[in-house]
Amino acid sequence: MFCKDTRYKERILANTYMKAQNTQKHIVIIGNGISGITAARHIRKQSNHRITVISGETEHFFSRTALMYIFMGHMQYAHTKPYEDHFWAKNRIELKKAWVKNIDFTKKILYLEGGENMLYDQLILATGSKPNKFGWKGQDLAGVQGLYSYQDLESMEKYAPTTQKAVIVGGGLIGVEMAEMLSSRNIPVVFLVREDRFWGNVLPREEGELISRHLQEHHIDLRLNTELKEIISDEQGRAKAVMTSRGEEIPCQFVGLTAGVSPFIDFLKDSGIEINRGILVNEYLETSIPDVYAIGDCAERTTALEDRRAIEQVWYTGRMMGETLAKTICQQRTHYSPGHWFNSAKFFDIEYQTYGVVGAELAENEQTFYWEAKNGKCCLRINYDKNTETLTGMNVFGIRQRHEVWNKWLKAQKTIDEIIEYLPNANFDPEFSKQYEGEILVQYNQERGKKLKIKTKKGLFALLK
């Protein structure tokens, strides 16, 4: 009994010593976006490490996706902070408002703008993205910008009152947000899209044309097959017009550059860390330098994940990376496994969701079923394997769907017949919106010579309604 008690006490002392050792580690996180803050929160839950979050953008973490709603007057900045300001001190997460100028990875020193230095034991790079610029003449003029940071929001506020017309370049999600923001202040918008439909490098033709029509219905002057050639300056160095690839000069006082984003890693060039388009990381989010990790928009995976891009600049992947890395930091080395791709967005008042893989063009092994409502504002696409007829991906516009249902169907490799039969189960708000499952079933049966029926009571009600 004495021996057992002694061993027990020794184990307790050993655990106490390990915890004491853990408290000596200083974890520094560069970036206070969703990935960096998620890592900080989960490290704190699992350890007594000292944690410092550095950001030159804002003092506190805020919801980046809410920037447009601040501009439109639907929210105030304070409403976009998920945590009260006292949360950070209460949870012993130190916040430092500063920009990092460069890093000495050998000595583990951060050099901050203003001359201050900071030591770290382990470093997490969560530096986010920056709007793409492609060397256009005039791209650095006043009144020319993207929409990513809080400073971008402040810049839009500065120039909006004196803007009679705006031009947006690039047909993506950020461009639509900027168009809606400017439209909310009655500023006419010309939208330059180089493809023959909106977001043509991502959406299949039918969905791209649906959104193109929708933008035009909201008085967006959509110019397809048109690229930016040059931004022309006035005498004060502010944009006064753009020249397009079609030779047209469009007067404007504001130009939104929304042709995608790229990792914010310029300050890391020649630092010794391995980078490509982003900071290269393995399946554990470890970089080429010991005790240095990268997560979120700035991370580029070197290990392939099926049907996933090496850089994924969306909110939920940043959150998942933060949670995963926290386990590794706290001595539970865990590989990053995001599962099936999904995303959601809003094009003015049409909601969009996608699950699995749906490319602008069908893959060789795929077939597709596409349905569109008569009003031209709702649609559903289901892609499936030619041989097995199992689900490979879906797009839906204007019908809110349940994430857990589609994720389950992807994991279970459900066939398209099974999905059509149980489609009402995926509807998120069947009590408050028009039901289309009956129309979808009828068209599917007609196109494929089937005699399928809705198999759930909930689905039958929706079909007969």
Is there a contact between 69 and 164 (Cβ–Cβ < 8 Å)?
no
d(CA 349, CA 352): 10
The span from the CA of 275 to the CA of 167, in Å, is 33
Question: What is the mean pLDDT of the segment spanning 357-362?
Answer: 96
User: What pLDDT shows up at residue 172?
Assistant: 87
pLDDT at position 4 over 60: no
Per-residue pLDDT for 61 more than 70? yes
Instruction: Please name the helix (run of DSSP H) or strand (run of DSSP E) that holds residue 45, with its range, or none.
Output: helix 34-46
pLDDT tens digits for range 315-337: 999 999 999 999 999 999 999 99
Banded pLDDT at 5 (limits 50, 70, 90): low
So what's the pLDDT on residue 244?
Answer: 98
Q: Domain 342-464: which CATH class?
A: alpha beta
Q: What is the assigned CATH class of domain 15-130+262-329?
A: alpha beta
Mean pLDDT within 438-453 = 97
Give the mean pLDDT of 241-270.
Answer: 97
Contact 164, 179 (CB under 8 A): no
Per-residue confidence (pLDDT) for residue 171, from 0 to 100 = 79
Residue 8 binned pLDDT confidence (cut-offs 50, 70, 90):
very low
From residue 353, how far is each of 311, 357, 378, 393 by CA, in Å?
20, 12, 12, 11
Task: Enter the tokens of residue 308.
Answer: 């996933």
Examine the pLDDT at 20 and tell me if it is beyond 70.
no
Q: Quick check: 457 pLDDT over 60?
A: no
pLDDT at 462: 45
Distance between CA atoms of residues 146 and 261, nearest Å: 9
* Residues paired with 175 in a beta bridge: none
pLDDT, one tens digit per residue, over 274-288 is: 999 999 999 999 999
200 alpha-carbon distance from chain centroid:
19
Mean pLDDT of 440-449: 98
Distance CA 213, CA 194 (A): 16
pLDDT given for residue 439 in this prediction: 96
Record the pTM.
0.91
Which region, left, alpha or beta, applies to residue 128 given φ > 0 means left and ψ of -120 to 50 means alpha?
A: left
- The pLDDT value recorded for residue 14 is 44
Q: 144-259 has which fold?
A: FAD/NAD(P)-binding domain (3.50.50)
pLDDT at 261: 95
Going by C-alpha positions, the residue among 317, 276, 275, 277 that lies closest to residue 295 is 317
Radius of gyration of the chain (CA): 25
pLDDT at 7 over 90: no
pLDDT at 11 over 60: no
List, in sequence order, the alpha helices (H) in 91-138. none
Q: Which residue has the tokens 């602008």?
A: 360
- 459, pLDDT greater than 80: no
pLDDT over 80 (residue 87) = yes
With a cut of 70, say whether residue 449 has pLDDT above it.
Answer: yes
User: What is the per-residue pLDDT for 339?
Assistant: 93
Please report the pLDDT score of residue 430 as a whole number: 75
pLDDT at site 368? 98
Would you call 147 exposed, middle or buried from its count of C-beta atoms within 10 A (0-12, 13-18, 19+)?
A: buried
Domain-by-domain residue ranges, the chain? Answer: 15-130+262-329, 144-259, 342-464
Summarised one tens digit per residue, pLDDT across range 95-112 is 999 999 999 999 999 999
Q: How do residues 25-37 score in pLDDT, each as one tens digit?
A: 999 999 999 999 9
Residue 393's DSSP bridge partners are 356, 383
**DSSP track, 274-290:** -BSSSEEE-TT-B-SST
Does 361 score more than 70 pLDDT?
yes
DSSP state of 78: G
Q: Does the pLDDT of residue 406 top 60, yes or no?
A: yes
Does position 9 have pLDDT exceeding 70, yes or no?
A: no
By mean pLDDT, which of 8-12, 182-186, 413-417 is the weakest? 8-12
How confident is residue 442, by pLDDT bands cut at 50, 70 and 90? Answer: very high
> Which of 2-6, 255-259, 327-331 has the lowest average pLDDT?
2-6
Query: Residue 105 corresponds to which tokens in the numbers above?
Result: 């990875």
Confidence of residue 423 (pLDDT cuts 50, 70, 90): very high
Do residues 278 and 302 touch, judged by C-beta distance below 8 A? no
461 against 239, higher pLDDT:
239
Query: How would you classify residue 92: left for phi > 0, otherwise alpha for psi between -120 and 50, otherwise beta?
Result: left
On whether the CB atoms of residues 391 and 369 are closer than 8 A, the answer is no
How far does Cα 116 stand from its chain's mean position? 32
Domains 15-130+262-329 and 144-259 fall in the same CATH topology: yes
Confidence of residue 143 (pLDDT cuts 50, 70, 90): very high
Instruction: Report the alpha-carbon distance of residue 428 to residue 450 in Å, rounded.
Output: 26
Find where tokens 């490799």 sit.
413
